[in-house]
Amino acid sequence: MTGDILVDATSSLIPGISGAVQSYKRARFKRNIKTFTEEMQSKIEKIRLNLELKTLEQKEQIDQLFQYVLDYVIDEQQEEKIRYMVNGFVNITEHHHVSNDFILTYYDVLKELRMVDISVLRLMYVSRFAFDQESKETFQEIMDRHGISYEQYKAVRRNLLRIGFPSLDVIL
C-alpha cells in the first residue's frame, strides 16, 4: 500500500510516467480478475453446495469475506497465487464460523509469500506428512521452475523455518 502511494506520487512528478503506471495497474487488474473468475468458475459447484448449508447470517459474513479476498486478488503481484486465494475462499465456505481477523491474517501471510516460498513450503509439507510420495515435486524441479540456485533454495527454506512455517498447520 505504501509502495503504491510512493509510486503514484513519484509518477505524478515525471511527465508521461503517470499514464504508464496507470496502464500497468489497469492491465494487472484485468489479468487478476480474469484469473480469479476462471478459478472461481472451476470451484463454483463446491461453493454452491457449501453455501446451501449456511444460515443467512453466515452467508452475509461470507459475502463480506469475499470482498476482502477480492481486494487481495486485485493487488496481487503474482497472478499464479490467485488459485491459492480462491482455494482459501472455498475453505472459508466450508466452515460454519470463521473469524474475520483469522481470514485477514491468512491472506496477509499469503500476500507476503512469493511463489517460490509456496513451492518450497509445499515440498516441506509433502515430505513430512503426505503418503503419496510419487506425485511430489523435488527440490531440483522447484529450482529449475523458479530459476534459482541451490544456495537460493536453501535461503528460502531457512527463511520459512525462521518465520515458523513448518511448525504451523499450513495447507496451501
pLDDT of residue 167: 60
Query: For 142, phi and psi rounded to 5 degrees?
Result: -65, -45
Cα separation, 110 vs 81, in Å, equals 8
pLDDT of residue 156: 94
pLDDT tens-place values along the chain, 172 residues long: 555 665 565 555 666 677 887 888 999 999 999 999 999 999 999 999 999 999 999 999 999 999 999 999 999 999 999 999 999 999 999 999 889 999 999 999 999 999 999 999 888 877 766 566 666 788 899 999 999 999 999 999 999 988 887 665 544 4
Domain chopping of the chain, boundaries? 2-167
pLDDT of residue 171: 47
pLDDT of residue 66: 97
